Amino acid sequence: MTISSQPAKASPDRRADKARNEADNPSSLVVRFGADEPLALDSGSQLRDWQVAYQTYGELNEEKSNVVLICHALTGDQHVANVHPVTGKPGWWERMVGPGKPIDTRRYFVICPNVLGGCMGTTGPASTNPATGRPYGLDLPVLTIGDMVRAQAMLLDRLGIGKILGVVGGSMGGMQVLQWAVAYPDRVLSAIPIAAGARHSSQNIAFHEVGRQAVMADPDWQGGKYLELGTSPRKGLAVARMAGHITYMSDQALHRKFGRNLQDRDKRTFTFDADFQIESYIRHQGSTFVDRFDANSYLYVTRAMDYFDIAADHDGRLANAFLDCKTRFCVVSFTSDWLFPTSESRAVVKALNAGGASVSFVEIATSAGHDSFLLEEPELDATIRGFLAAVARDHNVT
């Protein structure tokens, strides 16, 4: 049994900042929700006439019991294991998802939605506000991880999918995984949060604020109305990406790859050009990012991460969030991750144990830093493959 939806329409025009909404993203499937199907937001607002873009891989079995939901990270999207329609590059987790891979599409039906507030087809600040006919910009209500997960649940409802065999995600994706298990404990059979925590730390909030201020300080941001005015805060968004990307790597990884090597020269130039290789690398990360991501989406999605705090909704006690939780967990962390250090994962494991949940914990020794879940890590591959296979076997999914 396969699932299909109407693909998004193609459009000849490109917005100034190359933000991709439904019209610019013809390769994704899109489910639309009308004015009579509002999405209730944590802010107290409601979102009407909204949509979710998503990708699927593999086939849904007759029992609809083989669903693996993948939740993407901050700057990711739904293009997990296909050629990205904007960059032309392979999907961001192609090494993990596909036939014979750890998340084996010969066995599992994999679905990955673009998050609410994103810029690859799901309603976000670059989308058209039905009330005005113009891009939302900052008129879009501020969103949360809970809102993102609620939108995903409504998508699965529309697709006729009830229980989920496994929810998997790293970083912000891991936050969504935890939110899924807390908000829909009877729906999630297993959860794999990777390189994540139950709340955002003050340090991480500070890094995000630096990025947001860089975007908003760019004169071309125009108070968030740059799409209407035909400008693009490329410089500000590039700086935000540069600052953020540094946190995804470890000091060891940066030193091993770049050290203090000069860029294609033997001597210093005594200018502010990119003398060092690391400078050139970081500048490249910033300049390529602005071609595929919307600046306002960056503001909204980072803010959603900042607000994330599972314990806050459970009398300040994380264990209360997982009381009598029937979901089976595999929590994964990396030794060199200083953005979401192992202590954050251990706190989740401790709370799960206190709540009586079934939980496994894997700390993977690596020098690659936070982004390890996107890189070649054989222990991570084996962990995900084995854990999902055990859950599938226990629930008679063949």
- Listed residue (383, 308, 386) closest to 348, CA to CA: 308
Of 326, 77, 306, which Cα lies nearest the Cα of 212?
306
367 is catalytic: no
Pair of tokens at residue 117: 């507030």
Q: Compute the chain's Rg from CA coordinates.
A: 21
Q: Is 370 a catalytic residue?
A: yes
Question: Contact 49/35 with Cβ under 8 angstroms?
Answer: yes
Q: Which long-range contacts (CB under 8 A, 24 or more apart) does 218-224 make?
A: 218/295, 221/295, 223/138, 224/125, 224/137, 224/138, 224/296, 224/299
In three-state secondary structure terms, 52 is strand
Q: Which of 337, 345, 371, 372 is catalytic?
A: 337
* Other residues' Cβ atoms within 10 Å of the Cβ of residue 316: 9
Beta-bridge mates of residue 69: 111, 167
Residue corresponding to tokens 């293009």? 79
From the candidates 28, 171, 333, 372, which is the catalytic residue? 171
| DSSP H or E segment with residue 342 | helix 342-354
Residues 6+ apart with CB under 8 A from 101: 95, 381
List phi, psi (to 5°) of 29: -85, 145
Q: Which of 72, 200, 208, 370 is catalytic?
A: 370
Phi-psi region of 100 (alpha: psi -120 to 50; beta: other; left: phi over 0): left
Asked whether 30 and 8 are in contact (CB, 8 A), the reply is yes
3-state secondary structure 191-214: EEEECCCCECCHHHHHHHHHHHHH
| Tokens standing for residue 211 | 């990025």
- What are the residue numbers of the active site? 171, 337, 370
